[in-house]
Amino acid sequence: MKNFKLLLLVAFVSIGLNVNAQQATKKAKKQTTLNSNDYASFGDKFELNKVITKEQMFKKYKSLKKGDSIAVKFVTKINSVCKKKGCWMKLDLGNGESAFVKFKDYGFFVPLNADGSEVVVNGVAFIDVVSVEELKHYAKDAGKSQAEINKIKKPEITYSFTATGVFIKK
């Protein structure tokens, strides 16, 4: 009987360890492995480790409240770039959602033709409320028509990001 109990205990511990190992493997697979040689760098250089996906980033944004911020690196696609200077980007978060990215201290810009490129951003994510005036300014920078700009009537809650560094896929 003692041997049976010991065997049962060993079996449960083995199963538990196997489940933990599988979960650790799944978590490791979710973090994207990237090579900096495949990217052009803008702003501060940073290591391409602990980079999360756009889906993981969207979940993090959903958990934030106004005033919260988190330091993070994530990989996604650039939806659009400021067409005047390259001083901001809109990044895909999936499900029709996007993050609005500015660059720390207006310290660097990205290429004007980077739309559609893969990007890795490093910086701080937060929730922001953007005024009507600022939204109209961004729409003008994006080359929107005056009719589209005039339709902007209310402030917008946005998923915002201040990037210290950016890697754009070559």
The total number of structural domains in the chain stands at 2
Q: pTM, whole model, 2 decimals?
A: 0.72
Query: What domain range includes position 21?
Result: 1-30
The per-residue pLDDT of the chain, averaged, comes to: 86
What are 51's two structure tokens? 């980079």
Indicate whether 71 and 112 sit together in one domain: yes
CATH code of the domain containing 147: 2.40.50
Q: Are residues 62 and 10 in the same domain?
A: no
Section 68-96 average pLDDT: 96
Task: Enter the tokens of residue 166.
Answer: 């950016």
Same domain as 154, residue 123: yes
Q: Which residues contact 62 (CB under 8 A, 6 or more apart)?
A: none
pLDDT at 3 over 90: no
Taking phi first (over 0 means left), then psi (-120 to 50 degrees means alpha), and beta for anything else, what does residue 106 get?
left
**34-78 per-position pLDDT tens digit:** 898 999 999 999 999 999 999 999 999 999 988 999 999 999 999
CA–CA distances in Å: residue 55 to residues 96, 97, 102, 115: 12, 10, 20, 19
By the 8 A CB rule, do 99 and 77 touch?
no
Query: 52 and 16 in one domain?
Result: no
Give 122-157 pLDDT, tens digit per residue: 999 999 888 999 999 989 988 999 999 999 999 988
